[in-house]
């Protein structure tokens, strides 16, 4: 074959390769844009509409044993320059002391830093740690039948020393100090250990009372009288100044828009749950985190501690 024909054939192949590369790049780019629009993590329609006022919805659902999921939502919402207000939708009986305190602290920090209007909408239950979190907002709104309150601390475990004796088993402990195995369920608690744990519960209880008194503008003595662990309805909570008004989620959103000076045509941004994996997820490595979450690789037993801001009615399952 003549040399000039070989060179021409090479040139045609190179042009095809260049054209194919451009087409492939454009196709991948279109897929990425489509994935971002359709499977976007936030937005009433899956993506953010420019030029519209926006309210971010942060959900606190179920027992609170880690602050990370809620703080991640706060990071996503407060990291946007176009979000003017936040509404926390709380439907939780509470959970660990530290998780509730971490969320409470983060909410206060972001309100001060970003100047956002932050309101709480209480659902079926917003008790103990769920109510603690709500106290970090500018205004608390609940339905008349919402179960809330339960200002208090609980620590409990199942003691099985008699079962060990029945099975003729012995629990052997080598410790460095008197209280190192305090609360060991394999033996009776000593009076000194009981006093120690009661003092610790009282200290954590005092922190709860102080947080409610400061955030609600109430005398600590008045809050202390209410903090015997009792739950109350939304109507009673309003009479006791534990909440600000009666209303549902829609009412709370309207109040947030009003306080933030937003138009009635605001857009609600909320995190999509259980959305399908997209190409964008794979590129960002999100698929790996979703897989790890599904396998519960980051959930270690015993990580929740033994002291809780938790409403646990009789017969309810014990905290994990």
- Annotated catalytic residues are 128, 180
Dihedral sign of CA atoms 159, 162, 166, 169 in order = positive
* Nearest partner of 254 among 131, 116, 85, judged by Cα: 85
d(CA 320, CA 156): 11
d(CA 125, CA 154): 18
Could you count the other beta carbons within 10 Å of the beta carbon of residue 236? Answer: 15
* Nearest partner of 96 among 60, 129, 140, 73, judged by Cα: 129
Report whether 262 contacts 252 (CB < 8 A): no
d(CA 178, CA 187): 14
For β-strands 308-310 and 139-142, DSSP reports them as unpaired
H/E stretch holding 208: helix 191-216
Tally of CA atoms within 13 A in the half-sphere of 110 that contains its CB: 27
CB-count exposure of residue 10 (10 Å: 0-12, 13-18, 19+)? exposed
Q: What does R_g of the chain's alpha carbons equal in angstroms?
A: 27
Do you know the residue count of the chain?
A: 320
* Nearest partner of 63 among 150, 120, 119, 126, judged by Cα: 126
CB-count exposure of residue 145 (10 Å: 0-12, 13-18, 19+)? exposed
Report whether 63 contacts 94 (CB < 8 A): yes
């Amino acid at each position: 074959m003549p040399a000039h024909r070989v060179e021409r054939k090479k040139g045609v192949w190179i042009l095809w390769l260049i054209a194919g590369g451009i087409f492939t790049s454009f196709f991948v780019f279109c897929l990425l844009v489509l994935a971002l629009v359709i499977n976007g993590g936030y937005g009433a329609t899956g993506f953010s509409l420019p030029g519209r006022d926006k309210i971010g919805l942060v959900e606190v659902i179920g027992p609170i044993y880690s602050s990370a999921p809620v703080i991640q939502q706060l990071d996503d919402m407060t990291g946007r320059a176009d979000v003017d207000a936040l509404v926390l939708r709380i439907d939780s009986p509470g959970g660990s002391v530290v998780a509730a305190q971490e969320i409470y602290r983060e909410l206060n920090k972001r309100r001060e830093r970003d100047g956002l209007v932050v309101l709480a909408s209480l659902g079926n239950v917003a008790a103990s740690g769920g109510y603690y979190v709500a106290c970090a907002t500018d205004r608390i709104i609940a339905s008349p039948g919402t179960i809330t309150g339960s200002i208090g601390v609980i620590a409990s475990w199942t003691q099985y020393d008699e079962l060990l004796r029945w099975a003729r088993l012995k629990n052997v402990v080598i410790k460095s100090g008197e209280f190192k195995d305090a609360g060991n369920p394999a033996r009776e608690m000593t009076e000194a250990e009981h006093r120690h744990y009661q003092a610790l519960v009282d200290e954590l209880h005092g922190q709860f009372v102080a947080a409610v008194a400061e955030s609600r503008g109430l005398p600590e003595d008045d809050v202390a009288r209410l903090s015997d662990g009792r739950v109350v309805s939304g109507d009673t909570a309003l009479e006791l100044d534990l909440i600000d008004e009666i209303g549902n989620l829609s009412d709370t959103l309207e109040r947030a828009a009003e306080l933030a000076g937003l138009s009635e045509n605001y857009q609600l941004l909320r995190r999509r749950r259980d959305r399908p994996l997209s190409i964008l997820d794979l590129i960002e490595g999100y698929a790996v985190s979703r897989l790890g979450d599904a396998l519960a690789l980051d959930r270690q037993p015993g990580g929740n501690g033994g002291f809780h801001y938790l409403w646990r009615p009789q017969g309810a399952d014990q905290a994990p």
